[in-house]
Structure 1
Amino acid sequence: MRVLVVDDNATFLMQMKKFLSLKGFEVDTCAGGKEAVEKLQRERYDVVILDLKMPDISGLDVIREVKKKGVKTNVIVVTGYGEVESAVEAMKLGAIDYIQKPFDGNDIARIIERAGKKKLPAFPEYFAFNTGKIIIASIPPKEDIERELNVIADEYIDLKKSHNLLHILDGIDANTTLIVSGISYLLKTAGKEEVKKQLKNFIQEVEKKEANILIVCRGEEEKKLLDEICVEEDADIDEMIETCKSPIRRKLLHLLRTHGAMGYSEIMRGVGVEYSSKLAFHLKKLCNLNLVEKTRNGYILTPYGEHLANILDTFVMKKKRVAYLCKF
């Protein structure tokens, strides 16, 4: 499989070429976007590993240029911290995947392998990005789900042996994609209220781990249950938006979620307010709403505050972590 790595960092190019060559890939490198566009017009590559930030032209412009010129290849974009928006834009332009520096070499090798075989076409429709392993948890045979969604799973979990969805979370890490099929079986064995409770907790835990969930819905009963959960989630988002209209409150919730207990002066520096009275007003408001409480160690989020802060961070970062697919 031919791979082109495009990055303005010479050390990164050297390391990638050495590592991927040892993995059996045929690797070429380019030190800039313009060189990459020219090379892609002359030669055919199965996969392009493309840095988004380069001094001559950006990775986004590279994608635009090769698209105009009719070049067909699978592009995986590489970003730094805080560049989620650019990664999403790249995927809208046609990139099939994204990975964030620093990354594990085995992860990028696995993504290249999948991309080169063109076995991941369905997922851009459901998720903004997917860089980790795919796990199928279902009742139907794994092979049926793989054919149906055109994916290759790294791991399979039989729901008949794991009656509680929370039991399948062990070993899940950031950017893992969980495909769940077989909710009707759980409804028959555990009952609606128990499955609803499990699904809500399951979704919250997976989002905390920054993984993705695709729930395949196969009947009216399943769809009705998922619709109920979606309505409750929407109500939470509406409340979060109303509470967090003020940018100071948004910063406050994010700070406390990220750092844990913080003193008043620390919060003031972190939020960047000029007047203590302004911070005091918003802190009091959040305390009255039972989102923040004062302890001996400083201000902390209440469980409900943690819940809304999680929704806020997911909402702001535009991470579509949960998707439902009807197949009936």
Structure 2
Amino acid sequence: MVRPTMEDVALRAGVSRALVSLVMRGSPKVSEMRRTAVLKAAEELGYSPHAMARSLASRTSTVLGVMVSDLHNAFFAEVVDGIDEVAREQGFDIIINTGGRSPARERRALESLLSFRPAGLILLSPVVPATAIGKAAEQLPIVLVARSSRVSTVDTVNDDGEQGARLAVDHLVSLGHKRIAHLDGGEGTQAGPRRRGYVTAMEAHGLAPQVVSSEYTDAAGARAIRSLIADGSLPTAILSCNDFNAVGAISALEDAGLRVPADVSVVGYDNTSLAALRHVSLTTIDQPRAEFGRLAALALLQRVRDERTDPVRHLLNPSLVVRNTTAPPGGLR
């Protein structure tokens, strides 16, 4: 089936192609009678304007590009909800792709988004080199979520990862835990602040930090637990780098015949919808995911509309959400 074109709509409505273009762009220069005729013809033909072609023709775009780090992680879906809410309110559409947490793949994904000539880009926890982000920012506005930047043309939205990790450690210490390990996020964005917050909090309580190399995935969380069990260094409590990692850690603990929280307490990070499921009920650190998305979209649109040139650096405060995966260590109950 041949897709109808703007010329087909013009022929059906008995008007020029230029007038159809004005109607599709929402121009006020068209009479109501002709606007109605064009829209009626478009509906009869099943015509809808191609967003990319419309952008090329008008030299403007109503499309925002979004690159997601990991499609398996609910955190990013909830951030996208916030982006989409603002985009729709402001008359913009979004296109989404992913780089799968790989710098090389993310570079290609970034180039792919740029080829659509969007009005701007929002990159969620990207691991692509800063040089690639800076180069892209020379072409269009960019906002980073869950990653910092010193580039003045790039805006950022983050949580205070150090504070969040301290909240988790303080909670576990208040329950009586002294041996608390942190399954860190490796080279992932925001892993550094969370790691620093954990170490600072442990030292403030006079406790020895135990940082275990891991990643922001459930498989990595499970591997880290198996390694701790194998070398006999399993602590009484775990602070995972995110909820996804924590779920993998819990799975590995249960596979080993250990009970959560009776034998080992576990704290996640993000407070995704996964953490709130009744059979998971994960104690975690809350990041306002939808608010991240809303703030990122609003910051981007300010740049798109030339309303601001100074960089925005949003830093949101995390909070502790206590559920069923933390309790006093066995000897204290």
TM-score of the pair, normalised by structure 1: 0.29
Query: Which one has the largest radius of gyration?
Result: 2
- The structure whose RCO (Cα within 8 Å, separation 6+) is larger is 2
TM-score of the pair, normalised by structure 2: 0.29
Greater helix proportion? 1
